[in-house]
Amino acid sequence: MTSRNRKSLSLKEKMCILEKVEENKHLKRVDLAKELGLPVSTLNTLNYKRWLHKLKLRHCLTGKAVSGEFGDVDCEKVHDWIQNKLPDLIKGYEQKDIFNVDETGLFYNLLPSKTLAIKSDTCHGGKKSKVRLTVLLCANAYGSEKLPPLIIGKS
């Protein structure tokens, strides 16, 4: 079995490849891949990502995280605090000396909420596990110092 060297492509290289694909629609992918010195799978992956990106743009789709706490926050007060109070608090400190700490829950025993199944099959799930760890995360504003996560406890 021969070993294959993998090559990572820069964004500029990927854009050039996609332009060549657009210019040479009459060529087979195999021939174009040989001409560019790339495996056909790389060409297919780049084309799929472009197709997916265009689909998302065309239908205004995006991936979003669901948060249940939006209604609890007064956006005007937050904006006012960031504009008026925060600069006075951090005046005299360097970015590397300003830290943010946040507590979060880690549901380590939770099963996925979706699965792939045949349409005619019925899927049954059980109760969702609520077993979680409380974790403390901390990093500085500059991003140069990230402390290891601190496990506070099981809840």
Over residues 54-95, the pLDDT tens digits come to 777 887 777 665 555 556 778 899 999 999 999 999 999 998
Query: In the chain, how many domains are there?
Result: 2
User: Is 36 contained in some domain?
Assistant: yes
What's the confidence (pLDDT) of residue 72? 72
In a domain, 25, yes or no: yes
Residue 8: C-alpha distances to residues 11, 41, 51, 126 (Å): 10, 13, 20, 43
Confidence at residue 102, expressed as pLDDT on a 0 to 100 scale: 94
Burial of 14 (0-12, 13-18, 19+ CB in 10 A): middle
* Domain-located, residue 82: no
Q: What is the pLDDT of residue 1?
A: 54
For the chain, give the DSSP string.
Answer: -------PPPHHHHHHHHHHHHHTTTS-HHHHHHHHT--HHHHHHHHHHHHHHHHHHHTT-------S-GGG--HHHHHHIIIIIHHHHHTT--GGG-EEEEEEEE-TTPPPS-----TTS-----PPP---EEEEEEEETTSS-EEEEEEEEE-
pLDDT of residue 59: 77
Residue 149: its pLDDT value, please? 93
Q: Could you tell me if residue 4 is inside a domain?
A: no
**Could you tell me if 111 and 128 are in contact, meaning their C-beta atoms sit under 8 angstroms apart?**
yes
pLDDT of residue 49: 75
User: Residues of the chain whose pLDDT is less than 50?
Assistant: none
Q: Record the pTM.
A: 0.45
Residue 66 inside a domain? The answer is: no
Assigned domain for 122 exists: no
Q: Is residue 46 part of a domain?
A: yes
pLDDT of residue 118: 61
Token couple for 15: 């854009």
The answer to whether residue 86 sits within a structural domain is: no
Burial profile 118-150: b = 16 or more Cβ within 10 angstroms, e = fewer: eeeeeeeeeeeeeebbebeeeebeeeeeeeeee
